[in-house]
Structure 1
Amino acid sequence: MATSADKSSSAGQTVEIPAGSVRLSGELTIPADALGVVLFAHGSGSSRHSPRNRYVARTLCDAKIGTLLFDLLSLDEEAVDASTGELRFDIGLLARRLEEATHWLRRQSKFGGLPVGYFGASTGGGAALVAAAALGDEVRAVVSRGGRPDLAGDALGAVRAPTLLLVGGLDGPVIRMNQEAFARLSCTKELTIIPNATHLFEEPGTLEAVAQHAAAWFRRHLPERV
């Protein structure tokens, strides 16, 4: 596997991201004239192969936004988590992995200077907000899909990046969690309810709506401010 990504391409490139003592597998796609790069933080029990995140990633690439889909856990950690479930809610660990992936991206010579955004799903939404709070202006925009921003806790008040929370209209408990977290955010923010959608956005047209909202948010907030 490649350990760097120096050549821009519209096709996905397999990468390995060092994170402490482990290496995380990922897929990096940078379209021509990219406006920025969005790192994906998947939900509990998922991976970079999440079909929902991959759909959103394709939509972003069509909108000239690069994407980095990667596993937040190593293969050994995934095996442990499959048995115990102890790591999927370790928001601190997941956020650090997102930060380390951001630092890795910054070291890539061809596109390390592109603006960075985060797209988090489920527990990955909480991790994305914790990482965004830690990195400050390094992160330009955050989108959460059916996320658990409440898991970000006190970090919510420190988030500077414009944040969009997307929740299914039929996902009652998660709507309440997002409303409570939304009230604690002091950055530019929006909470959008996708009608007739359950937690996984499996209903016709709902995932497409998520992808379009996300693309519009990143296109608005990733480019350099003037």
Structure 2
Amino acid sequence: MTDIPSREPQPVEVPVDGALSGFLLLPQGATGLVVFAHGRRSSKYSRRNRALAEILNRGRLATLLLDLLTPEEQAADGAAGDPHTGDVDDGPGANIALLTERVIRALDWAATSPRVRALPLGLFGSGTGAAAALGAAAERRRELQALVCRGARTDLATGALPQVMTPTLLIVAGLDPQAVDINRQAIGAIPGESRLEIVPGATRLFEEAGRLDNVGLLARDWFLSHFAGTDESGEQAR
């Protein structure tokens, strides 16, 4: 797992009512694909998500960083809500049902794209995007091999949690007691394999030195361990 990842991300468009744009990075010898579902007011250009994606790339995991809103929806969302807290309101970025449908469309794209359809499939969600990822996992349990959520708003996905059978890792900041509490409750509601990892000394955005790297390494190991048991069709080996 020492391959140097490609430095040439490939532009991707996922068709919806309009198009969702993103970047696919496919390292040599990739053993799986991880689709990112970012939180509100983030984008495919997010510094944190790009840093996390690079850690996964160095573990020979392909990554798809994708905007879940069209450019028009992003403009509308920018005029709503609190950009610092991500408080829920009526903007498109707060519509969990819409975001969930967009994540599902991204998974369906990955399952049919000649570039990546042979790869085991995972989801990496954060914030409100993690709530959408949990909803998508409930709907696409056969296609999805692993799910990781960072700072997940699991309180926005309570209806989906009892349907999540995908192996799920929830990663939360140790200095964010509200997130620790709601994610601990979520673990009790998920019937499939699940684990809670608390990163000590980290605040909500994991901005402290080395804490984001901790998240990336935990996620990398989770994806690799659960992709290892899948065959070329994406089914679990028996």
| Aligned position for 1:16 | 13
2:68 aligns to what SS in structure 1?
A: coil
Q: Distance in 1 between matches of 2:71 and 2:175?
A: 34
State the Cα distance separating 1:110 from its structure 2 match. Answer: 3.4
Matches within 5 A, 1:158-177: 158-177=163-182
Q: Tell me, yes or no, if structure 1 residue 88 matches structure 2 residue 84.
A: no
Q: Distance in 2 between matches of 1:129 and 1:222?
A: 18
Gaps of at least 5 residues in structure 1 are: 1-8
Q: Distance in 1 between matches of 2:23 and 2:116?
A: 15
1:210 aligns to what SS in structure 2?
A: helix
Look up the equivalent residue of 1:55 and give its one-letter code: A
State the Cα distance separating 1:208 from its structure 2 match. Answer: 0.5
Q: Is the Cα contact below 8 Å between 1:150 and 1:180 reproduced in 2? A: no
State the Cα distance separating 1:201 from its structure 2 match. Answer: 0.2
Find 2:67's aligned residue among 38, 60, 71.
71
Find 1:220's aligned residue among 207, 213, 225.
225
| Aligned position for 1:209 | 214
Q: Distance in 1 between matches of 2:155 and 2:178?
A: 12
| Aligned position for 2:196 | 191
State the Cα distance separating 1:116 from its structure 2 match. Answer: 0.7
State the Cα distance separating 1:113 from its structure 2 match. Answer: 2.0
Between Structure 1 and Structure 2, how many residues are aligned? Answer: 217
Gaps of at least 5 residues in structure 2 are: 82-90, 231-235
Q: Distance in 2 between matches of 1:77 and 1:111?
A: 28
2:142 aligns to what SS in structure 1?
A: helix
Q: Tell me, yes or no, if structure 1 residue 179 matches structure 2 residue 184.
A: yes
| Aligned position for 1:38 | 34
Segments of 4+ moved more than 3 angstroms: none
Q: Tell me, yes or no, if structure 1 residue 133 matches structure 2 residue 138.
A: yes
Q: Deviations over 1:56-75 (max 9, x none)?
A: 10000100111000100011
Give the RMSD, CA atoms, in angstroms: 1.2
Q: Distance in 2 between matches of 1:16 and 1:206?
A: 32
Look up the equivalent residue of 1:199 and give its one-letter code: R
What TM-score results when the alignment is normalised by the length of structure 2?
A: 0.88
Q: Is the Cα contact below 8 Å between 1:137 and 1:160 reproduced in 2? A: no
Q: Is the Cα contact below 8 Å between 1:143 and 1:214 reproduced in 2? A: yes
2:220 aligns to what SS in structure 1?
A: helix
Matches within 5 A, 1:88-127: 88-127=93-132
| Aligned position for 2:45 | 49
What TM-score results when the alignment is normalised by the length of structure 1?
A: 0.93
State the Cα distance separating 1:156 from its structure 2 match. Answer: 0.5
Look up the equivalent residue of 1:127 and give its one-letter code: A
Between stretches 188-197 and 98-107, larger displacement belongs to: 98-107
The structure with the largest strand share of the pair is 1
Q: Deviations over 1:101-158 (max 9, x none)?
A: 1111222113212111000011111110100110112111000011112211221011
State the Cα distance separating 1:182 from its structure 2 match. Answer: 1.2
1:165 aligns to what SS in structure 2?
A: strand
| Aligned position for 1:154 | 159
